[in-house]
Structure formats: C-alpha cells, structure tokens
Amino acid sequence: EVQLVESGGALVQPGGSLRLSCAASGFTLSVYSVTWVRQAPGKGLEWVSYILSTGTVIHYSDSVKGRFTISRDNAKNSVFLQMNSLRADDSAVYYCARVRGSQLARAYLDYWGQGTLVTVSS
C-alpha cells in the first residue's frame, strides 16, 4: 500500500525553526518528485515547494522563498522541509504529496500524507 507519513510538526515561537519529514512506504520514493502543500486552519490549500526525484530541480512559492529549504535523502526514502524564520502565518497543516506527470506542466498529486500540524505562536 502506498503511504506517505509526515512528521516533525510542533509548536514553535516566531523566528524559530522546524524540520518536517515525509517518509514513504509501499513504493520507492527516489523515482518520484514530491510537493509540499499547506493548509492554514479553516483556509484553502497552498502550494509550498517541489523537488524533482533527483533533487536537481527545486521550486518554492514566493511566500516561503528564502526561508524554507526542501531536500531529500533517497537512501532513506524521505523528503524534508527545513523551515526557518517562522512567522504566525506559517501556521498550518503541512502535507507532502507524490507527484506524477512527465513534466511540471502536467504534474498532479496522486498520493497525499495525513499532514503534520505546525503552530507558530509565542
């Protein structure tokens, strides 16, 4: 069974840092690209970041660029999201999702994790 499991969410103070992990099971994550999507409480989905299977292509939304870093360890079947300089408006459930599609113009998210909650508050 294909599964993605996020972890690392926590309560953190403004300006702090957090590292989220996305672990895959039931398939080999190393051959797939991965996207992080977040959802603030009571709000819609927001695309956050993308990493190609090889790690050689990375994209960020303007709202996190320069503060967040996506990476992967294919040997551990995992993808990470390092979040620095956290702000209150970064508070959200963070989902990782497997990307399908031969190119970004056709990319879609076929499997999602259950999400991990990040709360930024003093």
Per rule CB under 8 A, is residue 68 in the interface with another protein? no
Q: What is the DSSP string of the chain?
A: --EEEEE---EE-TT--EEEEEEEESS-GGGSEEEEEEE-TTS-EEEEEEE-TTS--EEE-TTTTTTEEEEEEGGGTEEEEEE-S--GGG-EEEEEEEEESSSGGG-EEEEE---EEEEE--
Q: Which of 12, 18, 37, 86 binds another protein (CB under 8 A)?
A: 37
Task: Specify the residue, 77 or 111, whose C-beta has the smaller distance to another protein.
Answer: 111
Q: Which stretch binds another protein (CB under 8 A): 15-23, 46-54, 73-81, 84-92?
A: 46-54
Task: Specify the residue, 11 or 104, whose C-beta has the smaller distance to another protein.
Answer: 104
Task: Specify the residue, 16 or 23, whose C-beta has the smaller distance to another protein.
Answer: 23
Contacts to another protein by CB under 8 A? 35, 37, 44-47, 50, 59-62, 95, 97, 100-101, 104-115
